[in-house]
Amino acid sequence: MSQTKLTMAALNALDADRFTEILGGIFEHSPWVPRAACAARPFASLDSLHATMVEIVDHAEPEQKLALLCAHPELARRATLTAASAAEQGSKGLDRLDADEAAQFDALNTAYRSRFGFPFIIAVRGQRDRAAILAALSRRVAHSNDQERATALAEVAKIARFRLEDMIKPDGYLTVHALDTATGLPAAGLPLTLYRISDDQRSKIGMWQTNADGRCDSPLLSAGALQIGTYEIIFDVEGWRGGAGDPGFYDLIPIRFRITDPASHYHIPLLLSPYGYTTYRGS
């Protein structure tokens, strides 16, 4: 798998054949998944791409789902692996077991495949170590067929997510979190407006109000909307405090900042007191 990560915009711009080729290994040896996902482009984020691909698998015929499961290699057994599978198994040392571990994996792998008709699948990068993987294999071999098929497909979706994260640059986004230091509580119901600054001219992007946790219900900017440039958030503190009968010292608090990397998380915490405020960029 390429070491250079793609942006979502670059992935969306590919023709269908190249898109399918690049994402063909996200679901093991199953290029039909990204081929079907092409029709849903453009994707706004890695989350939406992953969700679409998982939904395609969920709605596939039972025979296709079984073929997808059977396309995965067994863990801790000598076989020709894709680069992604080899890296995943190697990250937990499944390619260098001692004799006792190898014998346990071999016996349980054989029992599992005999019972269910497909190999044991687990997102190894989400596991603590080999012992945890072996314990999961021992536990899941006792599942019912329907239960285990659902569990295996859920693990396939987790593996796909890890692989997409390896390949695609993360989505950048902008968030805020306002706290009222006078009460020690989140500053709920605080109105704010976001502007983009260009040549000292402000263009309004949108208006929000903080929720009970002092945050907004969604990022102020995300994915393609987060672009390099200068921005300003104006917090309407007077309107917020005025509702309690005390307008306080500040009326509007403007925070101007720069976005330099659209793939980063920009987080602005605002600490309000009756006569002052503190803010800094966090991530």
Query: Is 45 found in the same domain as 159?
Result: yes
Q: Buried b / exposed e across 221-238, counting CB within 10 Å, b at 16+?
A: bbbbebeeeebebbbbbb
**Domain finish residue from 118, 143, 167:** 167
**The pLDDT value given to residue 276:** 74
pLDDT class for 82, splitting at 50, 70, 90? confident
| Residue 53, in any domain of the structure | yes
Query: Is 118 found in the same domain as 58?
Result: yes
Judged against a pLDDT cut of 80, whether residue 144 lies above it is answered with: yes
| Residue 201, in any domain of the structure | yes
| Residue 272, in any domain of the structure | yes
pLDDT class for 2, splitting at 50, 70, 90? very low
Query: Is 188 found in the same domain as 131?
Result: no
Q: How many CA atoms lie within 13 A of 210 on its CB side?
A: 28
pLDDT class for 15, splitting at 50, 70, 90? very high
Mean pLDDT (the chain, rounded): 89
**Domain finish residue from 167, 193, 221:** 167
Cβ atoms within 10 Å of 63's Cβ, excluding its own = 8
Give the CATH number, domain containing residue 177: 2.60.40.180
Query: What is the mean predicted confidence (pLDDT) over 110-121?
Result: 97
Query: What is the mean predicted confidence (pLDDT) over 113-131?
Result: 92
Query: Is 158 found in the same domain as 259?
Result: no
CA 244 to chain centre: 39
Q: Which residues are catalytic?
A: 72
Residue type at position 96:
R
User: 55-69, 107-121, 166-180, 187-201: which range is least confident on average?
Assistant: 166-180
Query: What is the mean predicted confidence (pLDDT) over 5-15?
Result: 89
Query: Is 98 found in the same domain as 12?
Result: yes
CB 42 within 8 A of CB 180: no
Structural domains counted in the chain: 2
* Terminal alpha carbon distance of the chain: 28
Query: Is 265 found in the same domain as 138?
Result: no
**Is the pTM higher than 0.75?**
no
Judged against a pLDDT cut of 60, whether residue 1 lies above it is answered with: no
| Residue 3, in any domain of the structure | no
Query: Is 189 found in the same domain as 144?
Result: no
> Could you tell me which of 178, 158, 162 has the C-alpha nearest to residue 170?
162
**The pLDDT value given to residue 248:** 62
Judged against a pLDDT cut of 90, whether residue 282 lies above it is answered with: no
**The pLDDT value given to residue 247:** 58
Query: Is 43 found in the same domain as 97?
Result: yes
Q: What is the pLDDT of residues 185-220, one digit of tens each?
A: 999 999 999 999 998 899 999 999 999 999 999 899
| Residue 196, in any domain of the structure | yes
pLDDT class for 173, splitting at 50, 70, 90? confident
Rounded distance between C-alpha atoms, residue 24 and residue 225, angstroms: 28
| Residue 269, in any domain of the structure | yes
**Residue for token digits 């072996």?**
134
Query: Is 159 found in the same domain as 183?
Result: no
Query: Is 245 found in the same domain as 111?
Result: no
Report the share of the chain in percent with pLDDT over 90: 61
Q: How many CA atoms lie within 13 A of 29 on its CB side?
A: 14
User: 85-89, 199-203, 246-250, 268-272: which range is least confident on average?
Assistant: 246-250
Give the CATH number, domain containing residue 77: 1.10.3330.10
Boundaries of domain holding 119 = 8-167
Query: Is 234 found in the same domain as 179?
Result: yes
| Residue 2, in any domain of the structure | no
**The pLDDT value given to residue 283:** 53
Query: Is 12 found in the same domain as 106?
Result: yes
* CA angle centred on 80, ends 82 and 112, rounded to 5°: 95
User: 30-34, 185-189, 205-209, 238-242: which range is least confident on average?
Assistant: 238-242
**Domain finish residue from 141, 167, 193:** 167
**The pLDDT value given to residue 41:** 93
> Could you tell me which of 86, 81, 85, 20 has the C-alpha nearest to residue 53?
20
| Residue 32, in any domain of the structure | yes
Judged against a pLDDT cut of 60, whether residue 71 lies above it is answered with: yes
Judged against a pLDDT cut of 60, whether residue 222 lies above it is answered with: yes
